[in-house]
C-alpha cells in the first residue's frame, strides 16, 4: 500500500508530466504553423512520450492502492520567438522535472518506500537522456546560428530522428 504522502507527491508529478505534454504540443503547433514541420514532428512525438510518463505514474499509484488524479492543467505558452527559445524552454523544463524526480527519490528514502524508489529509477535514467538530448539540440542550434540553410537541414533531420537523435531507418 502506498502512503498518502508518496501518493500526493506522485500526483504532483502527474501534473508536471501532463503539463509538459501539453506544453510540447503548444510548441509543436507553433512550429508547424511557422513551417518547421520536422521540429513539429519531433515535439509532437516528445509530447506523446511525456503523456506516457504521466500514464505510467497513474498506473503505478493505482496498482499500489492509491488513486491517480487528473489535475487541472494551466494553459501553456502558445507563441514563441523562435526555435532557440523553444529548446531553451525544453531544457529548462527537463531540468525542473529532473529536480522533482530527485526530490521524489529523496522522499522515498525518507519514507522508507523502497518499492517506489525502485519504480522511480526508470525516471531518473530517463531524465538523464532528456536533458542530454535537449543540450545536444541546443549545441546544434548554436553551430547553425543564423544560417537559413543550416536551419532547413536541422528541421529536416530532426523530423527524421527518434528520441536518441539517430536516423529512424529511412533511406535517403
Annotated binding site for Fe cation: 17, 50, 53, 94, 127
Category of 110 on φ-ψ map: left (φ > 0), alpha (ψ -120 to 50) or beta:
alpha
Annotated binding site: 17, 50, 53, 94, 127
Handedness of CA 23, 42, 129, 69 (dihedral sign): positive
Euclidean distance between CA atoms 98 and 104, whole angstroms: 10
Question: Using CA atoms, how far apart are residues 7 and 68, in angstroms rounded to an integer?
Answer: 8
Give the residue carrying C-alpha cell 510540447. 24
Residue with the three cell numbers 508530466: 17
Amino acid at each position: 500500500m502506498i502512503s498518502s504522502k508518496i501518493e500526493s507527491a506522485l500526483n504532483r508529478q502527474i501534473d508536471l508530466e501532463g503539463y509538459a505534454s501539453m506544453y510540447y504540443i503548444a510548441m509543436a503547433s507553433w512550429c508547424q504553423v511557422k513551417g518547421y514541420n520536422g521540429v513539429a514532428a519531433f515535439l509532437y512525438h516528445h509530447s506523446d512520450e511525456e503523456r506516457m510518463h504521466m500514464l505510467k505514474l497513474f498506473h503505478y499509484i493505482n496498482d499500489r492502492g492509491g488513486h491517480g488524479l487528473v489535475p487541472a492543467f494551466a494553459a501553456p505558452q502558445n507563441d514563441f520567438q523562435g526555435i532557440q527559445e523553444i529548446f531553451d524552454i525544453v531544457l529548462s523544463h527537463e531540468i525542473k522535472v529532473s529536480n522533482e524526480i530527485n526530490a521524489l527519490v529523496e522522499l522515498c528514502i525518507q519514507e522508507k518506500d523502497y518499492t517506489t524508489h525502485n519504480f522511480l529509477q526508470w525516471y531518473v535514467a530517463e531524465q538523464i537522456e532528456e536533458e542530454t538530448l535537449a543540450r545536444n539540440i541546443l549545441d546544434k542550434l548554436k553551430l547553425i546560428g543564423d544560417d537559413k540553410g543550416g536551419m532547413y537541414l536541422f528541421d529536416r533531420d530532426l523530423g527524421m530522428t527518434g528520441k536518441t537523435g539517430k536516423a529512424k531507418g529511412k533511406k535517403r
